[in-house]
Copies of this chain bind each other. A is one copy, B any other.
Amino acid sequence: MQSKAASRRGRGEPPVRQAEEAAATVSDQEIYDRIVTSIMEHRLPPGTKLGEDKLARIFGASRARVRQVLARLALERIVVLQPNRGAFVAEPTVEQAREVFEVRQPLEALVVRRIIARRDPGLIARLRAHVAAEEAAREARDRRAIIRLSGEYHVLLAELSGSSLAAGLMRELASLTCLIIFLYDAPAVPACRDEEHAEITQALADGDEAAAIRLMAEHLDHVEACLDLSRGAAQELDLDAALAG
């Protein structure tokens, strides 16, 4: 099947590590977390087929278990289920990308207001620790970790806000944003938001609600502005290239 490594740039073998083989028992949550992490770190590119049998072998779990997890991912819009065809990592359209940012904007503002209202210093400490982790990943040039941690900052924010509903929604939206960034981002991306998380955290520590909300809004605008949403997805380019040759 796989003749040339170069030919399977688009959607080939799953980049999921096969290192740990069939251990005794792996929970649904573990399977879910590993797939989500892989997607957030772009080791599973959009469009990748997630075969049930293949995943079951990788995780050493039964197919039914994997199937359950895939159904959950599909409901969270991170994965698309095609009847009788299987599960694929979602490829959000330009339209969907805009919708995600549109919903995130007021939701993040809500989260910021809640955190300000709490005035919990321990809360700020956790945020600072996360920002430090982001900084470390950036210095280590670990681009995958950078992308994942950037998304997780917002999830952490929502969790610390005390609204489990907002946290759940943010988890979903953050994962989707990772997919969107992978699909539509220009190469020089991460520079766009290097210090913004730190600045937002500082505004929260100061209890400056207006500044925090403004910084957050600008931050989201910056990320969205970095995207090239005028043209089709990068995946279509691959298709065109393949057809030309």
Interface residues of A (CB under 8 A from B): 68, 71-72, 75-77, 96, 99-100, 102-103, 106-107, 109-110, 163-166, 168-169
Q: How far is the CA of A110 from the CA of B107 in the complex (A)?
A: 11
Q: Is the interface of A mostly helix, strand, loop or mixed?
A: helix
Q: Is the CB of A96 within 8 A of B169?
A: no
- Write the chain B residue with the least CB distance to A64: B64
Q: Is the CB of B166 within 8 A of A103?
A: yes
Q: Is the CB of A103 within 8 A of B169?
A: yes
Copies in the complex: 2
10 A–B contacts, CB within 8 A, in A order: A72-B75, A77-B168, A96-B164, A96-B165, A99-B164, A99-B165, A103-B165, A103-B166, A103-B169, A106-B106
Q: How far is the CA of A71 from the CA of B72 in the complex (A)?
A: 8
Hey, which chain B residues are within 8 Å of A165, CB to CB?
A: 77, 96, 99-100, 102-103
Q: Is the CB of A99 within 8 A of B169?
A: no
Q: Is the CB of B110 within 8 A of A109?
A: no
| Residue of A96, A100, A110 with most chain B CB atoms under a 10 A cut-off | A110
Contact of A163 among B72, B102, B169 (CB under 8 A): B102
Hey, which chain B residues are within 8 Å of A77, CB to CB?
A: 165, 168
Contact of A107 among B68, B106, B168 (CB under 8 A): B106
Hey, which chain B residues are within 8 Å of A103, CB to CB?
A: 107, 110, 163, 165-166, 169
- Write the chain B residue with the least CB distance to A166: B103
